[in-house]
Chains A and B, each alone.
Chain A
Amino acid sequence: QKEVEQNSGPLSVPEGAIASLNCTYSDRGSQSFFWYRQYSGKSPELIMSIYSNGDKEDGRFTAQLNKASQYVSLLIRDSQPSDSATYLCAVNILRAGGTSYGKLTFGQGTILTVHP
């Protein structure tokens, strides 16, 4: 089992719809979770971080975390063509000794296409 898994997509939604991106992780001890957006040919850009169970909202983006199910998701409301990108889920996986040294483990990414 991969440490961080995402549905690779591609995911295609119409403009104005809700896009739902999912991610599961293997280490129950993980404490920090991140969503990054990466446009083609560009570097990743931080969208959201979440640390506690439940929902966290920032504009059109909502991150959801369920540690019991080892599941984190990202909802994008009112999707726009400019949201078309690859979305990377990243988890701060704890290493031996209980520390992460700040390292993130990334999923393979989900390609999102928002069509007009």
Chain B
Amino acid sequence: GAVVSQHPSRVICKSGTSVKIECRSLDFQATTMFWYRQFPKQSLMLMATSNEGSKATYEQGVEKDKFLINHASLTLSTLTVTSAHPEDSSFYICSATVREDTQYFGPGTRLTVL
């Protein structure tokens, strides 16, 4: 149980385009979903916390107009990277909580912006 999927697993796009990443909890309803970013050889950096039906809470230093989060249902959250630039290239990972604190991670999306 507690399976989280992400789509796409890998995306390559041109600078200036927008990219949408989906995160789904497949066998449970998630009270909260989280979005992380990870650069090579670094630990996870929390970007935002997402609750169904409400606005996401962004961490300090994360631009909410650039990283749009929509949490449409208890099983789906999306992250849209708007006007992506090469510095946005990273590994984006979502997680979902079954209870308030146990987080299960999706497989991640590797974004490369040319």
Contacts and interface: CB of A to CB of B under 8 A. Distances in A.
What is the predominant secondary structure among interface residues of chain B facing chain A? strand
What is the predominant secondary structure among interface residues of chain A facing chain B? loop
A100 interface: yes
Interface string A26-57: 00000110101000001111100100000000
Interface stretch (A14-22, A61-69, A73-81, A103-111): A103-111
Contact of A32 (B49, B91, B101): B101
Contacts of A32: 101-102
Contact of A43 (B57, B93, B100): B93
23 contacts: A32-B101, A34-B102, A42-B108, A43-B93, A43-B107, A43-B108, A44-B93, A44-B105, A45-B105, A46-B102, A46-B104, A88-B44, A90-B103, A100-B100, A100-B101, A101-B49, A102-B100, A102-B101, A103-B34, A103-B49, A104-B101, A106-B43, A108-B43
